[in-house]
Every structure is written in C-alpha cells, then in structure tokens.
Structure 1
Amino acid sequence: MHQVRSVRSSRRAPPGPLISASPHAEELREVLGVQDLDPQLLQHALTHRSFAYENGGVPNNERLEFLGDSVLGLVVTDTLFTTHPELPEGQLAKLRAAVVSAKALAEVARTLGIGEHVRLGRGEESTGGRDKASILSDTVEAILGAIYVQFGIERAAEVIHRVFDPVIAVAAELGAGLDWKTSLQEIAANNGLGVPHYVLVGTGPDHDKSFTAEVVVGERTYPGGHGRSKKEAEQMVAEIAWRQISADLETPGT
C-alpha cells in the first residue's frame, strides 16, 4: 500500500473472557491465509450477538466489527485513490460504497465459506441466519478487525487485497459497481428506458419472511429476484436486468 501507514506493526488482543476455539478454526484460518491468527480471537470474531445472549453473555463480535469496518474502508479507499488517479471524489466514493456494501461482503463470506463457522443463537439458526447478508457482512468485518488487532494494518491489508481486489476490479468495470439498482438506473437512463419500477411480494410469517421481486424497465419485465429482505431481492433482480440489457445492447438488432 502506498498511502496507509502502520499504526503498529503488531498488536495484542485485548484481555477478556476466553472463548473455546472451534475445531474448524484451523480450516478457516487457512482459507483466510492467516494460519497464525489466535484461534480464540477468531472465535470472538465469529460470535454473533444471538449466540452471546443465549450463552451467558460471552463477548460478541460487534466491537471487532466496528474496528474491521474502518480498517476495510481505509484499505479500499487507499487502493482506489492510488489505482484510479483519473476519477473524481464522487466516483471514488461510489466505488468504495459498492466494494464495502453488505451485498459485496456477504458474497465474499459465501465464497470463503464463513457462514458455516459463525456462532449463532438458536433463533437465528432456525431462520437461516448463516446465509443472511447482514450477518455474513458483519462477520467479515469482525474477522478483519481481529486480524488488525493481532497483526496491525499491514497484515490486515494483505488479507484485504487478496480477498477484495477482484471485487474492486468488478466495481470499477461496472461504474456504480455492486450497487446493482444504481447501475440499472444508469443504464436505463442512458438508453432512454425510463426509471426502473420494482414489484415486490413478501411471503411467510414475520419471523421468517422472504421476498420475490421483478423489475420493469421500458416495456420489458425482468423476474427472478429473491431474498430475505426487500433490498436483497431488489438488488438481485436489478443485477439480472442489468446483465440482460447489457447483453442486448451488445447484440446487433436488439
């Protein structure tokens, strides 16, 4: 990294109650490329507040998430600033927002298989918490916070670059990046297709609701969005529509 300077080359985890290490901790550390990360610190990062509440108030990962959010934001900002000297502040901000969005972080978590390692309470477990974008994205940030706590900014940056550089590349290619609703709005406006109109349908009880979405762009309807939140369903169908419209624009006669 060019702009980021190490606050400390190495840091120690703050004292606190011990958390027993998962037998799968070593596997996850290998996937992350941090085999020497303290297993108990990793378990702390994997502990959702629902698990902490149901297990006598063991430390949850929210403080590490708070820290990791800032570490990720700094490294991504530095990378975008360095690699895109031609972009104005507003576009850099859009790209950063896309790279660190909950959707992007959740996809990273799914790719790394983080969901199966998260420590959840019974309620979250029963409602599909292991694949909830909010829980996955928060856990990624908490893990980055743990890496920073033990090793400092340079090691954390190495992990972030290894995991997020492909995400940054895709975001730069798509303009508004992984915010698919914004990308769809831009491509529709640029091609005289008007403003996209989303239609949402929710099913299931309040504690286990899911949503399907379709979007109307111009005179065409694009179905196929689904998720556990309205935002997730809309983002999915926006991506479907954006990709189809982009393909149509590249095909003569469409």
Structure 2
Amino acid sequence: MNIERKNQLLKFQERLGINFENLYILNTALTHSSYAHQYNLKYNDHNERLEFLGDSVLSVIVSEYLYRKYKNKQEGKLSRIRAGVVCEGSLAEVARKLEINKYILIGKGEELSGGRDKDSLLADACEAIIAAIYLDKGLEAARNFVLKYLTDKIDVIVKDHNYNDYKSKLQEYVQRNLLSTIEYKVVSESGPAHDRTFHIDVYLDNKCFGKGTGKSKKEAEQRAAREALNKLGVEEGE
C-alpha cells in the first residue's frame, strides 16, 4: 500500500467515524474483484469474502433490532421489513452517503462500464465494510455503524407499511393455491451499460400476470410481482 492510498483510506475512515487498527482490511473492503483480476492479486485481496461475511453480520444486527423493537409483529412481517432494509437499493444509498465510489478500487473495464455508480457494486462494498468493521473493531462497533445509517430507513419502512416483499408474497400465493410454476422473464433491457432499465414479466402456469420496470432486475421483478398480486386480488397488507 503506497502513501497516497494510505492517505485516501485515512480520509475515508474519518467519514466512517472509525479508526481501524488494520488499514489493510479496509483497503480490501474497498477493492473490487475486477481490480484484483486486472493486477493479478490473490483472491483474498478483494472484497468478495468480506461481502459474504458482511451480509450475515448485517442480517443479525437488523434482525435483532427488529426483534427487540417491534414486539407486536409476527415473523413474516419482520422478514419483509428486513428484506426492505438490507436490499441492494438501501445499501447503495448508504454507500453514496459515504462516497464509497470515490475510494473503491475497480478495474478499467468496470470503470468504463459505469461500475463506480452501480447499485450492486456499491451495495457489495457496503457489506464488505460492515464485515471489516466487525473484524477490526467487534460486533458492537458494527452494530453502531449499521444502526446509525439504517435505523431511519427501518422506521420509515414500518411507518409507511412499505415492507412488502412482493416476490415472497406471490410465491406464498402460488404455494397456497397449488399452482405449479412461477417464472420471471426479462422482456427487454434499455439504456447505457451504466444506467440500464429492465423490463420483466412474471408468469404463473405460463400465463403472464404482471409486468415490471426497474433499474435493477430485482426492482423490476418486485414491481411485476406487485402487479400480479393486484390482479389476483391480494391486498398489500395481507
């Protein structure tokens, strides 16, 4: 790690409000696999393993928070709230607040395709940073970090009842009504590589029940599932 990169990381940890004992692990969290492949780095010199751990740490922290705060909500609703909180879009929002895009190392190809502003890349880096905090400073520091940035998001989702995981609800409907298949099909993609829009249809037993559009496949699938549920007469609060 050269002096310039070290200074970048010192500046970034000020944004995080965390002083790392080991700056190397923060650097790893901010190194995308495309950069590692371009410069022939080892598999543990990019953030995919940290992302794997961070996903679990994040889930435990948010689950515990929901369990303790919302004692009147059943497991199914808690799961839907959590899904809305730890989703790609939510984590990408946090990443942008922290300006992770300014500090992450990515390969030239990824750079040219607009990777520095991709929700998926930013969300993965955010999870990797959570893991880095957990490993370097412990669970309490990771919890404080996560709740600092996501508590307001949780409360807004609960207040607005905007915690429906429509895909899960549609899957439950399919199973409850003994339908045999559910399939999401990408109909088309539009826009430049760094700003794609996806158009997806959802089929139940080979019949189209919903159409959705979004900036990610997950978003488009959720909207298609929501339209399908509306057509099937399933209320959003059910």
Match of 1:231 in 2: 218
What is the Cα-based RMSD across aligned positions, in Å? 3.4
Match of 2:133 in 1: 147
* Native 8 Å contact 1:94 1:176 kept in 2: no
The alpha-carbon deviation at position 26 of structure 1 amounts to 2.1
Match of 2:7 in 1: 23
Fraction of identical pairs, as percent: 38
Query: 1:149-188, aligned counterparts within 5 Å?
Result: 149-177=135-163
1:233 & 1:155 partners in 2: Cα distance?
35
* Native 8 Å contact 1:200 1:230 kept in 2: no
Match of 2:234 in 1: none
Residue segments in structure 2 that go unaligned for 5+ positions in a row: 171-185, 201-212, 226-238
Query: 1:196-207, aligned counterparts within 5 Å?
Result: 202-203=189-190
State the Cα deviation string for residues 23-82 of structure 1 (Å, max 9, x = none): 321222112110345322111101110000001124111111111111111110100000
The alpha-carbon deviation at position 130 of structure 1 amounts to 1.1
Match of 1:220 in 2: none
* Native 8 Å contact 1:130 1:136 kept in 2: yes
2:10 & 2:223 partners in 1: Cα distance?
33
The alpha-carbon deviation at position 209 of structure 1 amounts to 6.9
2:149 is paired with a residue whose SS is: helix
2:57 to 63, 71, 74: 71
2:7 is paired with a residue whose SS is: coil
By relative contact order (CA 8 Å, sep 6+), the higher-ranking structure is 1
2:9 & 2:224 partners in 1: Cα distance?
35
* Native 8 Å contact 2:80 2:164 kept in 1: no
State the Cα deviation string for residues 167-196 of structure 1 (Å, max 9, x = none): 1112212324385x67xx9xxxxxxxxxxx
- Structure 2 letter corresponding to 1:126: L
2:33 & 2:15 partners in 1: Cα distance?
24
TM-score, normalization: structure 2? 0.71
1:24 is paired with a residue whose SS is: helix
Query: 1:35-184, aligned counterparts within 5 Å?
Result: 35-58=19-42, 59-177=45-163
The alpha-carbon deviation at position 213 of structure 1 amounts to 6.2
2:114 & 2:6 partners in 1: Cα distance?
20
1:234 & 1:128 partners in 2: Cα distance?
23
The alpha-carbon deviation at position 149 of structure 1 amounts to 0.7
- Structure 2 letter corresponding to 1:30: E
* Native 8 Å contact 2:20 2:26 kept in 1: no
* Native 8 Å contact 1:99 1:178 kept in 2: no
2:197 is paired with a residue whose SS is: strand
Match of 1:190 in 2: none
Residue segments in structure 1 that go unaligned for 5+ positions in a row: 1-17, 186-198, 215-224, 239-254
* Native 8 Å contact 2:117 2:194 kept in 1: no
